[in-house]
Amino acid sequence: GESVGLHLPTLSVQEGDNSIINCAYSNSASDYFIWYKQESGKGPQFIIDIRSNMDKRQGQRVTVLLNKTVKHLSLQIAATQPGDSAVYFCAETRSGGYNKLIFGAGTRLAVHP
């Protein structure tokens, strides 16, 4: 069935370093991808999205890269801060008005001072 998976369940980084969180997706028909951040006790928070007609998109301190050839997404966080500690999920969907998101398993990012 459709699935979105993550390579690393836990990522520990030093404050100030750059973080890279990876995600693989399996549905080649997916054309819209989103990264969410979930802090303890809260709902997923939208970080950044990318459509399949792009291979890179930048936000504030975050960059998403999309490689459709190998069905791979990554989220890069520059100058990681303690407030970035959370679980990060990638999600995929296919345009069609239904917008059902398929979520990956999640990666926990732990930022150490």
Partner 1 sequence: DSGVTQTPKHLITATGQRVTLRCSPRSGDLSVYWYQQSLDQGLQFLIQYYNGEERAKGNILERFSAQQFPDLHSELNLSSLELGDSALYFCASSKVNVLALSSYEQYFGPGTRLTVT
Q: Which residues bind partner 1 (CB under 8 A)?
A: 31-32, 34, 36, 42-46, 49, 89, 91, 93-106
Least separation in angstroms between CB 113 and partner 1:
28
Least separation in angstroms between CB 102 and partner 1:
7
Contact 25, 103 (CB under 8 A): no
Task: Give the Cβ contact number of residue 22 at 10 Å.
Answer: 17
Question: By C-beta, is 34 or 77 nearer to partner 1?
Answer: 34
Least separation in angstroms between CB 17 and partner 1:
27
Least separation in angstroms between CB 38 and partner 1:
9
Question: By C-beta, is 16 or 96 nearer to partner 1?
Answer: 96
| Residue type (1 letter), 74 | S
Question: By C-beta, is 83 or 97 nearer to partner 1?
Answer: 97
Question: By C-beta, is 16 or 63 nearer to partner 1?
Answer: 63
Q: Where are the beta strands (DSSP E) in the chain?
A: 4-5, 10-14, 19-25, 32-38, 45-51, 56-58, 62-67, 72-77, 86-93, 102-103, 107-112
Q: Which tokens in the block code for residue 22? A: 């990876």
